[in-house]
Amino acid sequence: MSATIDLTSADARPRPSAPAPAPAKRSLLGLSREALGAALVEAGVPARQAKMRVQQLWHWLYVRGVSDISEMANVSRDLRTLLDEKFEIARPEIVEEQISVDGTRKWLFRFPARGAGRPVEIETVYIPEEGRGTLCVSSQVGCTLTCTFCHTGTQRLVRNLEPGEIVSQLLTARARLGDFPDAATPQGAIVPSEGRLVSNVVMMGMGEPLYNYDNVKSALGVVSDGDGLALSRRRITLSTSGVVPMIPRTGEEMGVMLAISLHAVTDELRDVLVPINKKYPLNELMAACRAYPGLSNARRITFEYVMLKGVNDSLADARQLVRLLHGIPAKINLIPFNPWPGTDYECSDWDQIERFAELVNQAGYASPIRTPRGRDIFAACGQLKSESERMKKGDRLAMEAAIAV
Ligand code: SF4
């Protein structure tokens, strides 16, 4: 699949006689059971039927993975007509799909405009590994933060994603991968996480999930519902740059695994690499980690550490990292930096990454070096979106030049 450019819409100027656009239908995706029941009753479904209808719809949406209301075979035709008039269950358009030789897939998804806004595009990445498959999900379009090593940090925040838009990244990926095998069985049985291609979800795509807290919480509630998508909360990891005040609530209310984008072991350097550190410095961040609800050796916090040559990769940094994490059940993911156009950073030498990993490992912390994945299809999170925007701009300019002639 390749990027498609709609030149007609690029020239869409308001015309006085154009009919007003039809009001967008409400999406049923991402609603909690309670909200789904309330939406059905509001649409005219008798209140006494609501619970049973919610059960039916939940099964079709999240176990069978249908994307069209007409496919809900055991729902009466009248109700399907009513649902179709009032609601939609559409998933995002796949603008682009790239498949790496190592099986990693990266999608550019487009969601329709909301209100007076414009359609938005986000990235979602699937990383297959031995015995598991991880989907890296976005929570915002762009980001307000400006981590200097991160390509998404160069893109301004457009808006938060809705719960349905977060959930539908998982639905679309599973459908695209053929990971709704139960859809073919008459029973439509729930497939356990370990039997699926997408067995894990990480909120580690575009955006800071704790700056879209309510929507992320609602979405993960749907994703972890045992009668639907049924991903155990232990298979869901939320990664934050360090929004300290929201970390306790994340543990108490979402109960998911926590990852911290750490990347530096002194405030001086972290203020540069992860500027939110100026607001919530390392001592506050580490205190919040030590107090994370449910923390134990079986539920460790993952610390992400991107390896930047000559910046944060010395053995002194490794020793300071060990001191910093003292007493925290932790795993450190060492990430070889994936350069993107325009960055001044370089990836650390492999030998240095190994020496760093060994020192941290000898201190008793698991410190896997994350194998670079999908390097042939993309360099960094946020890049596909930028490419798409560059193409659109290029096409717009070409079109304007043609009009001028
Ligand atoms: S690392 Fe995360 S929080 Fe920082 S700029 Fe990138 S997307 Fe935003």
Contact between 117 and 74 under an 8 Å Cβ cutoff? The reply is no
Which residue puts its alpha carbon closest to atom 7 of ligand 1?
A: 207
Determine which one of 96, 121, 123, 162 is catalytic. Answer: 123
Per residue in 45-56, pLDDT (tens digit) is 999 999 999 999
Per residue in 109-161, pLDDT (tens digit) is 999 988 778 999 999 999 999 889 999 999 999 999 999 998 888 888 999 99
Q: Is the dihedral angle over the CA atoms 205, 210, 215, 216 positive or is it negative?
A: positive
Q: What is the pLDDT of residue 11?
A: 31
Q: What is the pLDDT of residue 388?
A: 60
Backbone angles phi, psi at 43, to 5 degrees: -80, -5
Which of 138, 140, 152 gets mutated to test ligand 1 (max ligand atoms within 8 A of its CB)?
Answer: 152
Q: What is the pLDDT of residue 194?
A: 75
Q: What is the pLDDT of residue 8?
A: 28
Q: What is the pLDDT of residue 356?
A: 98
Q: What is the pLDDT of residue 20?
A: 43
Which of 124, 150, 276 gets mutated to test ligand 1 (max ligand atoms within 8 A of its CB)?
Answer: 150
Which residue puts its alpha carbon closest to atom 4 of ligand 1?
A: 147
Residue 104 Cα distances to 91, 94, 285, 311, 384, angstroms? 21, 16, 32, 29, 14
What SS3 state is found at 80? helix
Q: What is the pLDDT of residue 19?
A: 42
Q: What is the pLDDT of residue 389?
A: 59
Cβ-based burial of 278 (10 A; exposed 0-12, middle 13-18, buried ≥19):
exposed
Q: What is the C-alpha separation between 26 and 333, in angstroms, rounded? A: 40
**Is residue 325 annotated as involved in ligand binding?**
no
- Going from the Cα of 360 to the center of ligand 1, the distance in angstroms, rounded, reads 25
Contact between 331 and 259 under an 8 Å Cβ cutoff? The reply is no
- Our answer to whether residue 347 is catalytic in this structure is no
Q: What is the pLDDT of residue 7?
A: 26
Backbone angles phi, psi at 89, to 5 degrees: -130, 30
Q: What is the pLDDT of residue 404?
A: 31
Query: Ligand 1: residues whose CB is within 6 Å?
Result: 143, 145-147, 150, 152-153, 206-208, 241, 261
What residue ranges in 48-179 does DSSP mark as E strands?
87-88, 93-99, 105-111, 120-129, 132-136, 140-141, 159-160
DSSP string, 356-378: HHHHHHHTT-B-PBPPP--TTT-
Q: Which uninterrupted H or E stretch holds 215?
A: helix 213-223
Q: What is the C-alpha separation between 202 and 366, in angstroms, rounded? A: 19
Domains, in order of start, for the chain: 27-88 (1.10.150), 93-404 (3.20.20.70)
Q: Which amino acid is at 190?
A: I
Helices then strands, counting H and E runs in the chain, come out as 12, 13
- Our answer to whether residue 381 is catalytic in this structure is yes
Q: Which residues of the chain have pLDDT under 50?
A: 1-22, 379, 391, 393-405
